[in-house]
Structure 1
Amino acid sequence: MKKVNPDNSLGFILNRTNTRMKNALLHKFRDYDLTPEQWAVLNRLWVKEGVTPKELADLTCKDQPTTVRMLAKLQNKGYITREVNPEDSRSFLIYLTSKGREAKDILFPLAFEVLNEATRGIEAEQLEAAKSILNQIYRNLESQR
């Protein structure tokens, strides 16, 4: 049997890198009382508002209960608002507030600082290859659900 070095396993490397990225974002967003997970929700809403919590959960790869909790926190912080869905009065649609829209101009540069630091010394072609490989791994595992 082949000896496996746990420090060199793909899962460990992915987890360690994800943790480091999240911690760096958390540090950058500290003054705005936002987590990387909340940033992901805002990021999706900057692209398209008026979506359901379920849609946001799918778009951010989170479960629905976690997403609902994040939305409640974002609403309490004044970044989003919930409106009754006109097509289904049992559900809500999520919209940005003016504070949520304005946050984009502040938070994007901070996120890019982290991304630029994280990818320092890596060629664009290497980054595209890495993203392609990681997306293929995701798709491979998605089919097993």
Structure 2
Amino acid sequence: MITSLDKSIGMSINYVNRKIQRFLSGNLESYDITTEQWAVLLKLVEKEGINQKLLSKEVEKDQATLTRILDILERKSLIIRKKCDEDRRSFLIYATDKGKKLKKEVYPFIEELFKDMIYGIPKEQLDLFVDILDKINENMCTREQKTKQCIKK
């Protein structure tokens, strides 16, 4: 019987999320990239030429944090910023060939890590789990819309 939603659901989600982040971080060290840098690079390979403001919403990072991540990715020659022709104050961000190559190398590795994480869980349960997470996200977005824009999956 559930006695506290915070203890049973909130803490469980938080605990598993932190554990996944540590697991991924440890495994990504050999590629010289963090999980946050990976998430940004992956989005940039998917959506080339995106501006920083939109990218910030897509990866759910505030502008300052995203700027630091982009600076690091640029120093590693994984991305490039180009001035926007329509608005000289803004930049469009692209993954470089090196960044695209890293994505091709890391993506299958990450997929294997996730396969290990879900080993032994039937597809029906995984589908239900994803559906439940989507519903929780939808409910949170409904509450957040009162104060700010919510990114929906």
Where does residue 114 of structure 1 map in the other structure?
A: 113
How far did residue 112 of structure 1 move? 1.1
- C-alpha change, 1:11 and 1:3, in structure 2 (3 Å) is closer
SS class of match (1:121)? coil
SS class of match (2:66)? helix
Query: Do the aligned residues in 2 keep the contact of 1:49 with 1:96 (CA within 8 Å)?
Result: yes
- C-alpha change, 1:89 and 1:117, in structure 2 (3 Å) is same
Structure 1 outlier segments of 4+, above 2 Å: 2-6
What is the percent sequence identity of the aligned residues?
37
Query: Do the aligned residues in 2 keep the contact of 1:29 with 1:110 (CA within 8 Å)?
Result: no
Structure 1 unmatched runs, 5+:
none
What is the identity, as a one-letter code, of the residue corresponding to 2:93? I
Q: Bigger CA drift: 80-89 or 105-114? A: 105-114
Residue 31 (1) aligns with residue 30 (2):
yes
Structure 2 unmatched runs, 5+:
145-153
Give RMSD over aligned pairs: 1.7
What TM-score comes out, normalization by structure 1 length? 0.91
Which residues of 2 match residues 1-145 of structure 1 at below 5 A? 3-4=3-4, 8-145=7-144
Query: Do the aligned residues in 2 keep the contact of 1:79 with 1:98 (CA within 8 Å)?
Result: yes
How far did residue 19 of structure 1 move? 0.9
Query: Do the aligned residues in 2 keep the contact of 1:80 with 1:95 (CA within 8 Å)?
Result: yes
CA distance in 2 between partners of 1:40 and 1:117 (Å): 20
What is the identity, as a one-letter code, of the residue corresponding to 1:12? M
The aligned length equals: 143
What is the identity, as a one-letter code, of the residue corresponding to 2:128? A
